[in-house]
């Protein structure tokens, strides 16, 4: 029973990691595009920087969840 729970949690964490990595790439690229196409407009530059920082913060949050999830899975006795 525990091995099926471990496998389920591991699969769930891996799927979430893949989705989060894809979302990070998309939002970071959009933020970089906004920043690079700002043409000196400080408001647009700030908007682009904010998008890139938020994407990075989200990735760090998901990475933390992955570490916690794998720690939890390894703590469950087999």
Q: Does the structure show a pLDDT above 90 at 41?
A: yes
Burial of 68 by CB count in 10 Å (0-12 exposed, 13-18 middle, 19+ buried)? exposed
Q: Residue 58: how many CB atoms within 10 A of its CB? A: 15
Q: pLDDT tens-digit profile of 21-35?
A: 999 999 999 999 999
Q: Does the structure show a pLDDT above 60 at 38?
A: yes
pLDDT of residue 2: 58
- What residue ranges do the domains of the chain occupy? 2-75
Q: pLDDT tens-digit profile of 60-78?
A: 998 888 788 778 777 777 6
φ/ψ of 76, rounded to 5, equals -75, 125
């Amino acid at each position: 029973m525990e091995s099926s729970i471990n496998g389920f949690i591991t699969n769930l964490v891996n799927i979430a990691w893949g989705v989060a990595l894809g979302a990070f790439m998309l939002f970071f690229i959009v933020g970089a595009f906004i920043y690079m196409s700002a043409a000196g407009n400080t408001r647009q530059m700030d908007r682009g920087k904010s998008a890139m920082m938020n994407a990075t913060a989200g990735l760090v949050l998901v990475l933390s969840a992955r570490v916690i999830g794998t720690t939890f899975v390894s703590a469950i006795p087999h």
